[in-house]
Amino acid sequence: MMSGGRNSGFTVRRMVRMALLGAIGVMLMVFIAFPIPPFPDFLTYDPGDVPAIIACFAMGPWYGVLVQAIKVLVAFAVGAIKAGPIGALANFLAGASFAIPAGYIYRMNRTKKGAVIAMVVGSIVTAVTMSLCNYFILLPFWGIPTEQIGGLIVTAIFPFNLVKTLISSVITFFLYKRIKNFFEEA
């Protein structure tokens, strides 16, 4: 049984919602992706994390992680992740590192203020997590010279992940209130 909130059972209804949100995430990832100047072109924004954030708010943090996993696995399977398995791993880690803290914080304070705090903390955790993952794993795997990695982290990876998650947070903030009734248990 997953820890997800008021009625935390892993029900068919929740599985259907996770699948739906995962599919929406794939569509957003595939059809709305673009670089954000002045960051390098290999860092692209897509709103595909928004459904995972919605899942973590509506059903709990681990549901957000599962929606992120569904999105990444399906996108990878259909060839939508241009950076291959390393890009898929990076995308999953970014979304999961946001969903876990944001979902737990929002679960304790289900207000607008709680949502804002949850998303700001999630954004910071994601930027730090992805900086560490890129420093120790992802960039070395791509063969980036060690002497360039620190500069990339400071000038591109950390700020990009902060901007990316804050954009997704703003979208979620305005969208979630309008659709949260869909997630209310009958």
Q: What is the pLDDT of residues 108-135, one digit of tens each?
A: 999 999 999 999 999 999 999 999 999 9
The DSSP H or E segment spanning 10 is none
For residue 184, pLDDT beyond 70: no
Residue 105: the pLDDT is 98
Q: What is the pLDDT of residues 13-22, one digit of tens each?
A: 889 999 999 9
Alpha-carbon distance of 121 to 142, in angstroms, equals: 29
181 burial type by CB count under 10 A (0-12 exposed, 13-18 middle, 19+ buried): exposed
**pLDDT, average across residues 57-80:** 96
- Find, among 183, 182, 161, 158, the residue nearest to 59 by Cα: 183
Is 12-183 a domain of CATH 1.10.1760.20?
A: yes
- Whether residue 37 is preceded by a cis peptide bond, meaning omega within 30 degrees of 0, is no
For residue 98, pLDDT beyond 50: yes
Tokens read off for 169: 């947070």
Q: Give me the residue spans of the domains in the chain.
A: 12-183
Q: What angle do CA 4, 107, 178 make, to 5 degrees?
A: 95
Residue 10: the pLDDT is 75
